[in-house]
Structure 1
Amino acid sequence: MLYVNRVTETFRLSQHSHEFIELAYVGEGRGFHYIENEVHRAERGQLYVIPIGVSHVFRPSSADDSKEPLIIYNCIFTPQLLESFLPGVTDPPIAAFMQLLKDEAYEFDSIVDVDASIEKLFLALYQEFSLPQSGSTTYLNSLLLQLLVTIYRLINREQRAGLPAESAQPDRFLQVLLYMEQQYAEELTLSHLTQKFQWSERQLQRLFNRHTSQTFHSYLQSLRIRKSCEQLRDSSHKIRSIAESVGYKDQNSFISIFKRIVGMTPRSYRNQFE
């Protein structure tokens, strides 16, 4: 009831429709997406929700796919799989969105993956499908459910963009957290964030307390230490190098903060995984 693949699009496939729901994500390159009687530009980071019975086909920009490949990740699934999900979905808007997909009442949609959240889920889906392990069916279903919730959130965020500032505040603050997730190694300060996101320092600090239960500085330290843990587990880089890569110029300060948050030194933490 669920299938995931990664394909390099060519000119060989004709426009077609399916008896299943398709989520198509542009992983690399650019080209065109022909859907029904319309043509859309297809670029990296674009997600297409293709309901049952809607005809479509992707075309690369160039006939030479070795020079300008258009690579698409596809996640296809049956209405029966969605039906099995619905009893466990406790959020009415999410359930309604899934019901529309299941009942063939949802129109074709296109979404921009502004924060790479969709890309991460597609990569996880493809890896799990290609390299199945014990519990893979359950894990794949959970990833698909996460993907559907993420798609709904992105659609809802676009719809909320025109609402008053107070109504859109959680979405705006989420952008702050996403920005920090990408720029944690830089010289991040509360002052820098206030200038970039047009909030006062007092207001931004209050949002950190409300939505993370931490101050800005505590949240940044936790984020950097979490990123350093990933490197300690997955690489052989020297501790000094890891400290610098997550934003600490002084190794001793890094070790002190790491020990306070994790409860052991970086070396002891790494030794657990060797």
Structure 2
Amino acid sequence: MKPSTDTLSGEYFFTDNLFLYINRVTESYQLGLHSHDFIEFAFVVEGKGFHYMEDEVQAAYKGQLYFIPVGVSHVFRPSSSDPLKEPLVVYNCVFTPQLLDGLSPVILDPPLSSHLNQLREQRIPFYCINDLNSSIENIFLALHREYSLPQSGSNTYLLTLLLQLLVTIYRLRNDEVQLPLNKPAQFLQILHYIHQHYADDITLALLSLTFDWSERHLQRLFHKHTGQTFHHFLQNTRIQKSCELLIQHPQFSIQLIAEQVGYQDTKTFSSVFKRIVGKTPGRYRGRWGVTPSSI
């Protein structure tokens, strides 16, 4: 695949002087190899396929984040020509380098400030990292929800989410690899484990065995660092994920969503959901104007 001279312009994407655009797209063969005059972060949220970048090609799969600088030609391709059979779904967060000027005054850490300067001045080359703890995916979910369903103060909130994304990526590329594994970092690993395996049969006994801490000590750490018991923390994590699924997948039944977040009994799921959210799953979904094919 030869590099293309086609360049996508930010003028097509940016509105209301925000200079930030978020979308979620199922990749196909319609878009050709292209470059653009803006910065792009692309996150693979579902499926697998290939990413072509200049003269290189890489396997693309869920959990990968790609940084595509200004002027670099690239394109995603699914594994199959049938998107229903083997979809490749990607979140895109694109913005102008000048947008970072507005974020600079709130950056208090010199290394991070230097990193953002390099990003703004287009001195950082293409790279790809893996989202090992779902932290990037969670931010993209929030970015897309806020961009698609704007509320009062949405532009400001989107910029705070972008800043959170930049800091999180910086940590994954630098700090978290180098930090010593102290006790707070060990407990953070437990939280990351829950966010990755919330749909599994996770118990305090399992965490105790996996991370070699007593159940009693773990329960104390949950109270100290989350303000919740382990059981309540797991419930809230599952319900948070179910809220995202209810909006993003209107074709999914309540029963299917319950199973995907770790509940085999729909009545139990609905009861926990109503206690935490204040509405039944069906009413929550209806609040966003989503009409599912089966509830």
Please report the TM-score for the alignment, with normalisation by the length of structure 2: 0.67
Shift in CA distance, 229/8, structure 1 to aligned 2, threshold 3 Å: closer
What residue ranges of structure 1 are gaps of 5+ in the alignment?
Answer: 247-265
| Equivalent residues of 2:208, 2:218 under 8 A apart | no
Shift in CA distance, 65/131, structure 1 to aligned 2, threshold 3 Å: same
* Aligned mate of 2:230, from 220, 239, 245: 220
Who is 1:49 aligned against? 67
Shift in CA distance, 90/126, structure 1 to aligned 2, threshold 3 Å: same
* Aligned mate of 1:18, from 14, 36, 41: 36
| Equivalent residues of 2:23, 2:92 under 8 A apart | yes
Who is 1:91 aligned against? 109
Deviation readout 1:75-124 (Å, 9 max, x if unpaired): 10011111110111112222222222111111111111222221121122
Question: Are 2:167 and 1:149 equivalent residues in the alignment?
Answer: yes
* Aligned mate of 1:241, from 250, 253, 268: 268
TM-fit CA distance, 1:65:
2.6
Alpha-carbon distance between aligned partners in 2 of 1:184 and 1:60, rounded to the nearest angstrom = 27
Shift in CA distance, 39/207, structure 1 to aligned 2, threshold 3 Å: farther
Who is 1:137 aligned against? 155
Alpha-carbon distance between aligned partners in 1 of 2:79 and 2:200, rounded to the nearest angstrom = 36
With 88-97 and 37-46 compared, the bigger mean Cα shift is at 88-97
For residue 24 of structure 1, give the secondary structure of its aligned residue in structure 2: strand
* Aligned mate of 1:195, from 209, 220, 224: 209
What residue ranges of structure 2 are gaps of 5+ in the alignment?
Answer: 1-18, 247-253, 259-264, 285-295
For residue 29 of structure 1, give the secondary structure of its aligned residue in structure 2: strand
* Aligned mate of 1:27, from 28, 45, 70: 45
Alpha-carbon distance between aligned partners in 2 of 1:96 and 1:26, rounded to the nearest angstrom = 27
Deviation readout 1:171-206 (Å, 9 max, x if unpaired): 4331112224544984633x5434312x4549x939
Who is 1:250 aligned against? none
| Equivalent residues of 2:219, 2:230 under 8 A apart | no
TM-fit CA distance, 1:19:
1.5
Alpha-carbon distance between aligned partners in 1 of 2:235 and 2:26, rounded to the nearest angstrom = 38
Shift in CA distance, 230/147, structure 1 to aligned 2, threshold 3 Å: closer
Who is 1:256 aligned against? none
* Aligned mate of 1:176, from 183, 190, 210: 190
For residue 214 of structure 1, give the secondary structure of its aligned residue in structure 2: helix
Shift in CA distance, 219/99, structure 1 to aligned 2, threshold 3 Å: farther
Alpha-carbon distance between aligned partners in 1 of 2:225 and 2:135, rounded to the nearest angstrom = 25
Aligned length: 241
> Which entry has the higher C-alpha Rg, 1 or 2?
1
TM-fit CA distance, 1:242:
5.1
Who is 1:205 aligned against? 217
For residue 224 of structure 2, give the secondary structure of its aligned residue in structure 1: coil
TM-fit CA distance, 1:220:
1.6
Who is 2:7 aligned against? none
TM-fit CA distance, 1:215:
8.7
Deviation readout 1:239-259 (Å, 9 max, x if unpaired): x8259979xxxxxxxxxxxxx
Residue identity in the other structure for 1:141: L
Q: Tell me the percent identity.
A: 44
Who is 1:73 aligned against? 91
| Equivalent residues of 2:198, 2:234 under 8 A apart | no
Alpha-carbon distance between aligned partners in 2 of 1:228 and 1:69, rounded to the nearest angstrom = 25
